[in-house]
Amino acid sequence: MRRHKSNSLDRRNAFASIAAIALVAGCAHHRPTREFAADAPFSRNFSGSGDAVCWSVKRALLSQGYMLDRPNDSGVMTGSRDEQPKPKSNVTTRLQTTCADNRNGTSIVFVTATREENDLQKMKQSTSVGVGPATLTMPSGSAKVLGTVRRETITDRNFYAQFFILVQGYVDQERLSQSSVPATSRPSALRNEPPQTAPAAEEVPPAASSMPSGRPPVQNSPIPNQ
At 184-193, the pLDDT tens digits run 554 444 344 4
CATH of the domain at 111: 3.30.310
Instruction: Find out whether 91 and 83 touch, Cβ atoms under 8 Å.
Output: yes
- The dihedral region occupied by 65, where left means phi > 0, alpha psi between -120 and 50, and beta the remainder, is left
Angle (CA) 46-49-51 rounded to 5° is 110
Residue 120 lies in a domain: yes
Instruction: Find out whether 110 and 98 touch, Cβ atoms under 8 Å.
Output: yes
Q: Where are the beta strands (DSSP E) in the chain?
A: 43-47, 67-68, 76-83, 89-101, 106-131, 134-153
Q: Is the pLDDT of residue 23 over 80?
A: no
Residue 136 lies in a domain: no
Amino acid 149: pLDDT: 86
Residue 154 lies in a domain: yes
Measured in degrees and rounded to the nearest 5, phi and psi for residue 129 equal -125, 130
Residue 74 lies in a domain: yes
**CA atoms of 46 and 174, how far apart (whole Å):** 12
Max mean pLDDT range (60-69, 179-188, 201-210): 60-69
Which of 52-61, 92-101, 125-134, 171-180 comes out lowest in average pLDDT?
125-134
Range of the domain at 111: 42-124+142-179
Measured in degrees and rounded to the nearest 5, phi and psi for residue 138 equal -125, 140
Domain count for the chain? 1
Measured in degrees and rounded to the nearest 5, phi and psi for residue 17 equal -65, -40
Residue 35 lies in a domain: no
Instruction: Find out whether 109 and 57 touch, Cβ atoms under 8 Å.
Output: yes
Q: What is the mean pLDDT of the chain?
A: 76
Residue 64 lies in a domain: yes
**CA atoms of 118 and 151, how far apart (whole Å):** 9
| pTM to 2 decimal places | 0.58
Q: How confident is the model at residue 61 (pLDDT cuts 50, 70, 90)?
A: very high
| Mutual angle of helices 50-63 and 157-179, in 10-degree steps | 120
Residue 86 lies in a domain: yes
Residue 220 lies in a domain: no
